[in-house]
Structure 1
Amino acid sequence: MMKSTLLRFFAISGVAVAVTGCVSDQKAAQVKLEQQAVLGLNWVQQSGEYQALAYQAFNTARRAFDAAKAQNGHKKAVIVDLDETMIDNSAYAAWRVEHGVPYTKPTWARWMEAKQATAIDGAVSFARYVNSYGGRMFYISNRDDTSYAATVENLQKLGFPGVSRETVLLRTTQSNKQARFDRVKSKGYDVVVYIGDNLNDFGTACYGKNNRERRLQVAAQQKQFGSKFIMLPNPNYGDWISGMATDYYKQTPVRQLEINRENLRVWKD
């Protein structure tokens, strides 16, 4: 009896040690995943190059807006994303690096409620230009609609114009933005420019697609970029990450690290 009891004890202890080790490995991998964002965050927060690309994007958008002719007597509209397009949330991402933790809805909600996002260079002046010269800005974001009050307060504090229930369309049921794009058009607007940091900010062509399919869509629409579609750089997150593998975000942190490396094109010396 004593021998049997001891064997069961050691078996259970071995399983516990294995489980503890596995959990520890996953936590270490999560910390490493967050650390992989550091240089991208440094670039966004510190480089003149990122700043230059932001100004370049909004200068291009202004020229595209001026050149566009609204169809059928409709009023010109510009649709923009918010996060990493008009406002900068990199401080939240840096907080995750500091604490070694992943994105979660509760911490993201806390960040939005803090109303500390800053304006991306050129964004406010572009929005004011559109609203002052015969157009109307629509801010279409996949922030959850429960964050509407905090989001609007943050935008108003930064000086964005025309912020209201009509123009700020957040996510209520699905992340696919097409229905909200169509709602703007149904009100008699001709959307002449779209601005975003994710290909999904321009329509459904790339929604749910892997990166190869997304690149093919970009190639097919290449003439639209710089005229109708204006892209802001975002090296830190987006559907390009989930586009690296099926169910990327359902994988363990250890597996996500492996996928990140597997997707590198490596010089074979």
Structure 2
Amino acid sequence: MHTVKCGFAALTLSLLLSGCAPHQQAAAPETAQQKLTEQTVFAVNWMQQSGEISALSYQAFNTAETAFTQAKARPGLKKAVVVDLDETMIDNSAYAGWQIKHHQPFTDATWSKWNQAREAKALPGAVEFSHYVLEHGGRIFYVSNRAQADYTATVDNLKALGFADVSPQTVLLKPTGGSSNKVERFAAVEKQGYDIVVYVGDNLNDFSGETYHKLNTQRRDFVNRHQEEFGRKYIVLPNPSYGDWEGGMAQDYFKVNDEGKVKIREERIDAWDGK
């Protein structure tokens, strides 16, 4: 009888304790914004870990050197090269890594904070290419859509990495209150007496205004119509993490909410039916 009473008391105490214990909170459901950010994980893994991205970068700049050497400027003009900065000459994947780790979307404020940190790295072959152009009679212009507020930090970062000819004349950021369409800045380079013989970028907008904020069907059409110029005048570096191609998946893509973006991304997958 004593054993039964002890067992009953122990069971009662266990039930009381379990009833008083705090309930374990269920994990919060994943938000659409978190899903959007996490969908970039594999792309950023590739950008930071693969040997292939270094190979493609060297390949791009080797090709750009050849293209620059073989190009002939129009009579009376000097040869120039226009390059983008982000994911073309410098690597910002650590910012994308921060977004993933902290489930944060892109914002102008955090992007500026990253720029101000001056921690971007040079892509393989980029620094050497900038010196090649200068040493072979050309001039390189860094045309970027970074904000004017980040100009000093951007110049500091480029100079610390060893890029050639970094100056107020060659670093052309997005005008305050102006457009991110680069065509006006391309024209400003030409007005200085230069013929832009090579463009280097990770976005079709780095080459022409024809693709600016256009759907991907139109962007692909631009590529098809100018196929002979890729590798000769237009040099593309890989960037699977972000770009105008994302907005090109649907009209007004960047104006829809996060749930809408997730839906568009899923709808744009061309999938085998498994049969």
Give the TM-score taking structure 2 as reference length.
0.88
> Which residue of the partner structure matches residue 223 of structure 1?
228
> Which residue of the partner structure matches residue 60 of structure 1?
63
Deviation string, structure 1 residues 99-128 (Cα, Å, up to 9, x no partner): 111000110110000000000000000000
> Which residue of the partner structure matches residue 131 of structure 1?
134
Task: Report whether the alignment pairs 1:212 with 2:217.
Answer: yes
Q: What's the CA shift for 1:204?
A: 0.8
CA-atom RMSD, angstroms? 1.3
| Distance in 2 separating the partners of 1:180 and 1:26 | 45
Q: What's the CA shift for 1:73?
A: 2.7
> Which residue of the partner structure matches residue 3 of structure 2?
none
Task: Report whether the alignment pairs 1:259 with 2:231.
Answer: no
Q: 1:230 to 1:102 in 2, by over 3 A?
A: same
Query: Any stretches of 5+ residues in structure 1 without a counterpart?
Result: 1-23
Amino acid at match of 1:248: Y
Report sequence identity in percent: 54
Q: What's the CA shift for 1:252?
A: 1.4
| Distance in 2 separating the partners of 1:143 and 1:68 | 29
> Which residue of the partner structure matches residue 197 of structure 2?
192
Task: Report whether the alignment pairs 1:239 with 2:240.
Answer: no
Task: Report whether the alignment pairs 1:115 with 2:108.
Answer: no
Structure with the higher fraction of residues in helix conformation: 1
| Distance in 1 separating the partners of 2:226 and 2:47 | 27
Secondary structure class of the residue paired with 1:79: strand
Q: What's the CA shift for 1:27?
A: 6.6
Q: What's the CA shift for 1:25?
A: 9.1
Whether the 8 Å CA contact 1:84–1:234 is kept in 2: the answer is yes
Whether the 8 Å CA contact 1:26–1:253 is kept in 2: the answer is no
> Which residue of the partner structure matches residue 181 of structure 1?
186
The structure with more radius of gyration? 2
Q: 1:28 to 1:67 in 2, by over 3 A?
A: same
Whether the 8 Å CA contact 1:26–1:254 is kept in 2: the answer is no
> Which residue of the partner structure matches residue 5 of structure 1?
none
| Residue 102 (structure 2) aligned to one of 77, 99, 103 | 99
Give the TM-score taking structure 1 as reference length.
0.89
| Distance in 1 separating the partners of 2:40 and 2:232 | 31
Task: Report whether the alignment pairs 1:155 with 2:158.
Answer: yes
Secondary structure class of the residue paired with 2:269: coil
| Distance in 2 separating the partners of 1:79 and 1:178 | 11
Amino acid at match of 1:94: G
Amino acid at match of 1:144: A
> Which residue of the partner structure matches residue 44 of structure 1?
47
| Distance in 2 separating the partners of 1:25 and 1:241 | 28
| Distance in 2 separating the partners of 1:254 and 1:158 | 40
Q: 1:112 to 1:127 in 2, by over 3 A?
A: same
Amino acid at match of 1:53: L
| Distance in 2 separating the partners of 1:26 and 1:256 | 18
> Which residue of the partner structure matches residue 170 of structure 2?
167
Q: How many residues align?
A: 246
